[in-house]
Amino acid sequence: MKRKAAIIGSGNIGTDLMIKIIRNSSELEVGCLVGIDPESDGLARAKRMGIETCSEGIDGLIQMEIWKEVDVIFDATSAKAHLYNIEKIKPYPHKKIVDLTPAAVGPYVIPAVNFDTELSNKLALNTPIQTDSILNMVTCGGQATIPIVAAVSRIANVYYGEIVASIASKSAGPGTRANIDEFTETTAEAIEKIGGADKGKAVIILNPAEPPLVMRDTVFTLSEQADRELIRESIHHMVAEVQKYVPGYTLHQEVQFDDIPEDQPVFIEGLGYQHGLKTTVLLQVVGAGHYLPEYAGNLDIMTSAALAVGEKMIG
């Protein structure tokens, strides 16, 4: 029997996640889609599909009968709204929460990197996940790039990891645009905590090109010198792991290596002058096109990763 999920946020991410659960999940079903705009396309689409809706946010959801049956809550709102939402959910500690905002309240989860570690810690002895230990999905850019930093870290000590996420402007809704600062801060922190870099930096670009381009990500790492073939193999293995839940995730070009010699070091803020092995990885993420077109790979990787975590939480 499938367990019920509620999705808070009826924008691009919430609607895409709703359709993914309907089409792909063997563990979950959508109990309710929640928004604050009764005229939103997401709520209208949910109604047409026979799914319960609420246009009064978390406060309205808690008053509904379906609330009692909800086991997993996916928060696809904004960092600021998430802080409000978790205060409302605190009296219900048995509700499991997957945070798709860059609020960074709970532990970061990148399924291909620390999926089992974080979940086994929270699910030990079937202990309910409390609202002070919400599983946070970092950011779309983080989901795409941090696995690569982690892949290099498994072979060599990474001094610095920098990622540049370029997404189609049309795939960036108001929630994404309102959270640019949170995106860069959360992603940079997760590059260090999950990716294993001593120092992390994140940049996001909203590409206005027409026709819209698919999500492209660039990952730079500066590490100690190590076997390049081992690093290449680790990266390819990590790409294959991500592809298990995001089929459109691929290397755009082969891995590139450059030496930064000791007599020509580069200056890294917070670390000073460093030398070593520079690794460059170019990625492409093509969306599944469940709700938005294929160029919205930034949505696809976020919702796909969140669904994988949500299913594991109730498994």
**Structural domain boundaries in the chain:** 3-138+300-314, 140-295
pLDDT in tens, 115-127: 887 766 665 545 5
Check whether 297 has a pLDDT greater than 80: yes
Check whether 274 has a pLDDT greater than 80: yes
Task: Please name the residue that has the structure tokens 């892949």.
Answer: 151
Percent of the chain with pLDDT over 90: 85
Q: Are 226 and 153 in contact (CB under 8 A)?
A: no
Mean pLDDT, the chain, rounded, equals 93
Topology of the domain covering 140-295: Dihydrodipicolinate Reductase; domain 2 (3.30.360)
Residue 63: the pLDDT is 98
Point out the residues that are catalytic.
140
Window from 8-17, 27-36, 306-315 with minimum mean pLDDT: 306-315
Compute the distance between CA of residue 250 and CA of residue 216 in angstroms, rounded to an integer: 10
pLDDT (mean) for 190-214: 97
Token pair listed for 296: 């919205």
DSSP 201: E
DSSP 254: -
pLDDT in tens, 30-73: 999 999 999 999 999 999 999 999 999 999 999 999 999 999 99
Q: Are 237 and 151 in contact (CB under 8 A)?
A: yes
Equal CATH topology for 3-138+300-314 and 140-295: no
Q: Are 24 and 17 in contact (CB under 8 A)?
A: no
Closest alpha carbon to 199 in 191, 207, 209, 210 = 191
Dihedral (CA of 189, 116, 246, 227) sign = positive
Residue 104: the pLDDT is 84
pLDDT (mean) for 201-221: 97
Compute the distance between CA of residue 162 and CA of residue 151 in angstroms, rounded to an integer: 14
pLDDT classification of 181: cutoffs 50, 70, 90:
very high
Q: Are 277 and 144 in contact (CB under 8 A)?
A: no
Task: Please name the residue that has the structure tokens 């680790």.
Answer: 234
Q: Are 5 and 74 in contact (CB under 8 A)?
A: yes
pLDDT in tens, 128-180: 556 555 899 999 999 999 999 999 999 999 999 999 999 999 988 777 888 89
- Dihedral (C-alpha) 98, 179, 110, 85: value to the nearest 10 degrees? -10
Residue 313: the pLDDT is 86
Residue 203: the pLDDT is 97
Dihedral (CA of 240, 243, 249, 250) sign = positive
Residue 129: the pLDDT is 56
Q: Are 222 and 160 in contact (CB under 8 A)?
A: yes
The amino acid present at 172, given as its one-letter code, is A
- Residues in CB range of 296: below 8 A, 6 or more apart: 12, 16, 167, 168, 170, 171, 215, 287
pLDDT classification of 292: cutoffs 50, 70, 90:
confident
Topology of the domain covering 3-138+300-314: Rossmann fold (3.40.50)
Q: Cα angle at 80 between 78 and 84, to 5 degrees?
A: 105
**For the chain, counts of helices (H) and of strands (E):** 10, 14
